[in-house]
Amino acid sequence: MIKENTKGVDLILGDPKKAINKLSVPIFLSMLLSLPYNIIDGIWISNLSPDALAAIGFVSPIYMLVVSLGTCVTSGASPFISRCIGAKDHKRANNAAIHSILIMGIITIILTTILVLFLKDILLLMGASQIIDLSMEYGLIISLGSFTIFFSSIGAGILRSEGDMKRATYLMFITSIINIILDPIFIFTLNLGIGGAAFATFLSSLISLIVLFYWLFMKKNTYLSLKLSEFHYDSNIIKEILVVALPVGIENFIISFLAVFTTAMLTIVAGINGVAIYNAGWRIIYMGIVPSLSIASAVINVAGSAYGSKNYNKIEIICNYSLKLGIFISSIFAIIIFIFADQFTFLFTFTGASTVISSELSNFLRVLSLLLILYPIGIIITSIFQAMGKGFISMILTIIRELIFVLFASYLLGFTFGFGQYGIWWGFNIGMGLGSILTYIVFKIYFKRFKIRDKSYKIK
């Protein structure tokens, strides 16, 4: 019996521009609506003290490093499932989804254990000795609750693989709203301080995971059928998932390592306040990154299904359209952040405890807003490579962009030329710009040669 397509499956197999628009818009709106949590969370914590804001600044890159390694399974599984759907292999798509959940379970146990055992040592190595108690208070709670993030990631990835972006993004919105409600209650009403912020994050993620579990295993109205009774071990499926997941894991490690190293560099040149500025400012800059992330999430599954059906002309359309869309929207956000930098800064510095970082935070926002203009190129192109199962190429490009261009430029300007934190900020812009341009050139050359080599290339 042939499984009837859902609306989501029909969408990712249809017109690519329409698919990108329809799939990226709900992600964008959900992430945009969740941004108030990211910002409000920072505002609540900045009301405690700059030290509390800096403590989260130390913990966040470490936590994201570990989480990104775990969620790389999603990056390998989601496009592979989409390719199976594109090839009309429903049974293999089901089996791949179950494989991905089991792999995630193993990785969750390993990474959570590592995070809990070595968190304090890493924090001290980064230079958090002055606020180690605050950092550990927040970090341990977040670390122990990380399983909610891991399993939510793979579950949402399964929904996205079949074009069900709406429910995948509802989860993000649910998590954010609950967190916004719980934050002030735990931080101030219950007087739990920075630990309360961590508890609020954990509980909101747990509730979201329960909803996801209901959709996938109880309601059962998805295209994929997740039944353990139908699971059968397939080493080729694991290989197909890991061939993208492992390089993406290395990519994510490098990006997170850059955040860890940046925090350490800022501690040296600007002290705890430099970390607080970076942590608060990045919450605003992230607002301009959201459009690119939304488009890239849609691109992975639309391009994955196109690759599975060997419709390579569609991949070119996806690339060109998504880049134009991403750069246009991100540029608008860059202009808004640049013009209203002082107003955004006020959100984090209206209390006496944090006014000391006010002027430098405004400068940070104006400098880093320029990064947004070319940022979409790197994230969208690497998403296309991942959709095609070319995780190794994506990894190499990320290493060049993040580890060589960005890190080298930041260190060179910040330390060698003595520009301090301003040099580190500008290093991000220069490195990201050069890396994004290189990524685009490599893709164009690679894809041209790829079409020539593949005799089954279709022009539709």
Using the predicted structure, report yes or no on whether residue 457 has a pLDDT greater than 50: no
8-state DSSP, 396: H
In 3D space, the residue among 151, 138, 145 whose CA is nearest the CA of residue 202 turns out to be: 145
At residue 352, the pLDDT reads 53
Non-local (6+) Cβ contacts of 282 within 8 A are 368
Grade residue 5 by pLDDT with cuts at 50, 70 and 90: low
Cβ 303 vs Cβ 387: under 8 Å: yes
Using the predicted structure, report yes or no on whether residue 323 has a pLDDT greater than 60: yes
The pLDDT of 353-360, averaged and rounded, is: 73
The pLDDT of 28-41, averaged and rounded, is: 68
Using the predicted structure, report yes or no on whether residue 19 has a pLDDT greater than 60: yes
Lowest average pLDDT, out of 35-39, 102-106, 432-436, goes to 35-39
Enumerate the H helices of 15-146 as residue ranges.
Answer: 16-48, 50-86, 90-126, 132-144
At residue 160, the pLDDT reads 82
At residue 3, the pLDDT reads 54
Non-local (6+) Cβ contacts of 229 within 8 A are none
To the question of pTM greater than 0.75 for the whole model, the response is no
Cβ 365 vs Cβ 285: under 8 Å: yes
At residue 460, the pLDDT reads 40
At residue 8, the pLDDT reads 59
Residues 70-97: pLDDT tens digits? 778 888 898 899 888 888 888 899 999 9
CA dist., res. 197 & res. 187, Å (int): 6
The pLDDT of 119-145, averaged and rounded, is: 91
How many CB atoms within 10 Å of residue 236? 9
CA dist., res. 231 & res. 216, Å (int): 15
Residues 367-406: pLDDT tens digits? 999 999 999 999 999 999 988 888 889 889 988 998 899 9
The pLDDT of 56-61, averaged and rounded, is: 84
Residues 206-252: pLDDT tens digits? 998 999 989 888 887 788 888 877 789 999 999 999 988 888 788 77
Higher model confidence: residue 215 or residue 430? 430
At residue 459, the pLDDT reads 40
How far separated are the first and last CA of the chain, in Å rounded?
A: 29
